[in-house]
Amino acid sequence: MAHKFLIKKNKAGEFVAYFVYNNESIFWTEGYASKASAKNAIESIKKNGPDAEVDDQTD
């Protein structure tokens, strides 16, 4: 699969969820104190993301 979510720890020891496509980080969450919170963030993105509108402010 070309895309996936990764959970890694940052330098501050917080859990961060990354969305990765072809081994490149596309976006990531804020740091969380617990792994469960990072997993909740992933589930929220999966649940709410498909219907997100695109706000093109270049015009």
pLDDT tens string 10-34: 999 999 999 999 999 999 999 999 9
pLDDT tens for each residue of 30-47: 999 999 999 999 999 999
Q: Is the pLDDT of residue 51 over 90?
A: no
Asked, for residue 20, whether it belongs to a domain, the answer is yes
59 belongs to a structural domain = no
What's residue 13's pLDDT? Answer: 97
* Domain containing residue 39: 3-49
pTM score: 0.83
Q: Is residue 56 part of a domain?
A: no
Q: How many CB atoms lie within 10 A of CB 46?
A: 10
Cβ neighbors of 21 (< 8 A, separation 6 or more) are: 2, 3
